[in-house]
Protein backbone atom coordinates (compact mmCIF):
# COMPACT_ATOMS: atom_id res chain seq x y z
CA UNK A 1 0.00 0.00 0.00
CA UNK A 2 1.42 3.42 -0.89
CA UNK A 3 2.13 6.05 1.76
CA UNK A 4 -0.08 8.58 -0.04
CA UNK A 5 -2.97 8.24 -2.44
CA UNK A 6 -5.62 10.49 -3.91
CA UNK A 7 -9.37 9.96 -3.54
CA UNK A 8 -11.97 11.52 -5.82
CA UNK A 9 -15.11 12.67 -4.00
CA UNK A 10 -18.22 13.61 -5.97
CA UNK A 11 -20.08 16.42 -4.22
CA UNK A 12 -23.84 16.98 -4.33
CA UNK A 13 -23.53 19.59 -7.10
CA UNK A 14 -21.62 17.06 -9.31
CA UNK A 15 -18.24 18.69 -8.69
CA UNK A 16 -15.29 16.40 -8.10
CA UNK A 17 -13.01 17.14 -5.17
CA UNK A 18 -9.62 15.39 -4.99
CA UNK A 19 -8.37 14.68 -1.46
CA UNK A 20 -4.87 13.40 -0.66
CA UNK A 21 -4.86 10.74 2.06
CA UNK A 22 -1.65 9.92 3.92
CA UNK A 23 -1.28 6.45 5.44
CA UNK A 24 0.60 6.11 8.71
CA UNK A 25 1.87 2.59 9.33
CA UNK A 26 1.75 1.29 12.89
CA UNK A 27 5.21 0.84 14.42
CA UNK A 28 4.39 -2.04 16.76
CA UNK A 29 2.82 -5.42 16.13
CA UNK A 30 -0.93 -5.83 16.56
CA UNK A 31 -1.75 -7.62 19.85
CA UNK A 32 -3.13 -11.14 19.44
CA UNK A 33 -6.20 -11.85 21.59
CA UNK A 34 -7.00 -15.21 20.07
CA UNK A 35 -8.56 -16.36 16.88
CA UNK A 36 -7.66 -18.60 13.97
CA UNK A 37 -4.50 -18.77 11.85
CA UNK A 38 -4.49 -20.57 8.52
CA UNK A 39 -1.54 -22.95 8.51
CA UNK A 40 -1.08 -22.85 4.74
CA UNK A 41 -1.22 -19.11 4.12
CA UNK A 42 -0.43 -17.70 7.58
CA UNK A 43 -3.44 -15.35 7.47
CA UNK A 44 -4.72 -14.56 10.97
CA UNK A 45 -8.43 -14.12 11.72
CA UNK A 46 -9.28 -12.49 15.07
CA UNK A 47 -12.17 -13.26 17.40
CA UNK A 48 -14.97 -10.67 17.57
CA UNK A 49 -13.87 -9.90 21.14
CA UNK A 50 -10.72 -8.21 19.85
CA UNK A 51 -12.61 -6.16 17.25
CA UNK A 52 -15.42 -4.72 19.39
CA UNK A 53 -15.54 -2.06 22.09
CA UNK A 54 -15.15 -3.58 25.56
CA UNK A 55 -17.18 -0.95 27.47
CA UNK A 56 -20.19 -2.43 29.27
CA UNK A 57 -23.47 -0.97 28.02
CA UNK A 58 -25.76 -1.33 31.03
CA UNK A 59 -29.18 0.29 30.61
CA UNK A 60 -31.24 -0.05 33.81
CA UNK A 61 -34.19 1.82 32.22
CA UNK A 62 -34.70 -0.88 29.58
CA UNK A 63 -35.26 -3.81 31.95
CA UNK A 64 -38.92 -3.07 32.54
CA UNK A 65 -41.82 -5.16 31.29
CA UNK A 66 -43.33 -2.24 29.34
CA UNK A 67 -40.16 -1.71 27.35
CA UNK A 68 -39.78 -5.41 26.56
CA UNK A 69 -43.35 -5.95 25.34
CA UNK A 70 -43.95 -2.85 23.23
Q: Per-domain residue ranges for the chain?
A: 4-63
What is the rounded CA–CA span in Å between residue 45 and residue 58?
29
Q: Is the pTM of this model over 0.75?
A: no
The answer to whether 45 and 37 have CB atoms below 8 angstroms apart is yes
User: In the prediction, which pLDDT does 49 show?
Assistant: 64
The residue with greater pLDDT, 15 or 55, is: 15
Q: Is 46 exposed, middle or buried (0-12, 13-18, 19+ CB in 10 A)?
A: middle
Amino acid sequence: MPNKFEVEIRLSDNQIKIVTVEVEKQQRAKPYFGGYRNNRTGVTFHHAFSQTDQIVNYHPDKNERMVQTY
